[in-house]
């Protein structure tokens, strides 16, 4: 294992640059050549490769986004597309791969390994924290902190004007950002994809708050909630209750950007070093995770066949604190 390719794929997440930096520096430490692959699988198919050294990754630890860029590749989802990627890897003498991304990235590398035998290790880089086999994914902590900072600012104006704010956070299939931001931000209700919340239940809860002279309320909505988007839910609530002046804020891609927190920097750095070491030790077809503060190595079949749900205890705590 002398030449290792590193790339980022799917949605960007704060801490990806820290992971790239760790892979490059650990690779050099262990006398490996590290090749950066631009634009994920798209760049792999096109041979968009560049050798990386210590200077390539200087001053990126604190930066959000990814210096290697990211893209979603429809072509790579086909056997023909993966065959093109393999030819490029072979042409550039790449012995193994380290990919940083979500479940789609992991799935792509698994198919490439099964079809062409390229060893790989995946690092979980996604703000949604929706990948089994790890307590935390790279970017989740930063995204949640960004959401909480925005919620704190919105609460100031909500208190000033007796307003009900619906705040939509990211989480198409996962409520991890929503439930944690809801607890930290003092939300009266959190609506997530993993749980069904009826409009009548929500209106009842809001009316109870009105009886206790609550001058404002915040409802956190994950973008993939079963009850609809924040805009749709706000409209339905408005039709059933006129107690609050109702407003909607959609945080959107704001949560993807910004400097990674110390936690995401350290997590990404540890995982990056572990990825180089595990490839050198012959591990492959695995995703590195952190469980109870220890690095673990998850086989594809063990984790990609099961969903990761929000902890029931987090839901219980959120409901207790929302009275």
Does 214 belong to an annotated binding site?
yes
Reply yes or no on whether 313 is catalytic.
no
Does 215 belong to an annotated binding site?
yes
Distance CA 165, CA 28 (A): 50
- Of 6, 17, 12, the C-alpha closest to 269 is 17
Does 104 belong to an annotated binding site?
yes
Q: What is the DSSP letter of 12?
A: -
Does 247 belong to an annotated binding site?
yes
Does 152 belong to an annotated binding site?
no
Does 102 belong to an annotated binding site?
yes
Does 172 belong to an annotated binding site?
yes
Does 114 belong to an annotated binding site?
no
Does 127 belong to an annotated binding site?
yes
Catalytic-labelled residue, pool 31, 48, 95, 128? 128
- Of 303, 299, 306, the C-alpha closest to 121 is 299
Does 188 belong to an annotated binding site?
no
Does 256 belong to an annotated binding site?
yes
State both tokens at 285: 């077809």
Q: In b/e form, how buried is each residue of 151-186, taking b as 16+ CB within 10 angstroms?
A: beebbeebeeeebbbbbbbbbeebbbbbbbbbbbbe
Phi, psi of 29 (to 5 degrees): -60, -40
Q: What is the DSSP string of 23-92?
A: HHHHHHHTT-EEEEETTHHHHHHHT-EEEE-GGGGTT-TT--S-TT-----SGGGSHHHHHHHHHHHHHT
Does 235 belong to an annotated binding site?
no
Distance CA 1, CA 118 (A): 11
Q: Which residue ranges make up the annotated binding site for ATP?
A: 11, 72-73, 102-105
Q: Which residue ranges make up the annotated binding site for Mg(2+)?
A: 103
Q: Which residue ranges make up the annotated binding site for substrate?
A: 126-128, 163, 170-172, 223, 247, 253-256
Q: Which residue ranges make up the annotated binding site?
A: 11, 21-25, 72-73, 102-105, 126-128, 155, 163, 170-172, 214-216, 223, 247, 253-256
Q: Which residue ranges make up the annotated binding site for ADP?
A: 21-25, 155, 214-216
Q: Which residues are catalytic?
A: 128
């Amino acid at each position: 294992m002398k030449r290792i390719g590193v790339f980022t794929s799917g949605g960007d997440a704060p801490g990806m640059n820290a992971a790239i930096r760790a892979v490059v520096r650990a690779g050099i430490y262990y006398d490996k050549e590290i090749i950066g692959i631009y634009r994920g699988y798209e760049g792999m198919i096109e041979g968009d490769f560049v050798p990386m050294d210590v200077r390539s990754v200087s001053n990126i630890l604190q930066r959000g986004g990814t210096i290697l860029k990211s893209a979603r590749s429809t072509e790579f989802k086909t056997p023909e597309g993966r065959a093109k990627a393999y030819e490029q890897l072979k042409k550039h003498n790449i012995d193994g791969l380290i990919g940083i991304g979500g479940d789609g990235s992991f799935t792509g590398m698994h198919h490439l390994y099964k079809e062409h035998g390229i060893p790989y290790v995946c690092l979980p880089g996604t703000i949604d924290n929706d990948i089994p086999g790890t307590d935390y994914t790279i970017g989740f902590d930063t995204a949640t902190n960004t959401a909480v900072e925005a919620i704190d600012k919105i609460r100031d104006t909500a208190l000033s004007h007796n307003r009900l704010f619906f705040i939509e956070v990211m989480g198409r299939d996962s409520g991890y950002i929503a439930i944690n931001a809801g607890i930290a931000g003092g939300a009266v209700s959190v609506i997530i994809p993993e749980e069904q919340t009826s409009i009548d239940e929500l209106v009842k809860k809001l009316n109870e708050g009105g009886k206790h002279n609550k001058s404002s309320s915040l409802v956190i909505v994950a973008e993939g909630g079963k009850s609809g988007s924040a805009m749709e839910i706000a409209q339905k609530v408005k039709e059933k209750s006129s107690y609050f002046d109702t407003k909607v804020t959609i945080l959107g891609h704001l949560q993807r950007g910004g400097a990674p927190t110390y936690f995401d920097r350290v997590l990404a750095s540890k995982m990056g070093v572990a990825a180089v070491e595990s490839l050198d030790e012959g591990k492959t077809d695995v995703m590195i995770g952190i469980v109870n503060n220890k690095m673990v190595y998850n086989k594809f079949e063990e984790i990609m066949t099961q969903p990761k749900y929000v902890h029931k205890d987090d839901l219980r705590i959120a409901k207790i604190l929302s009275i």
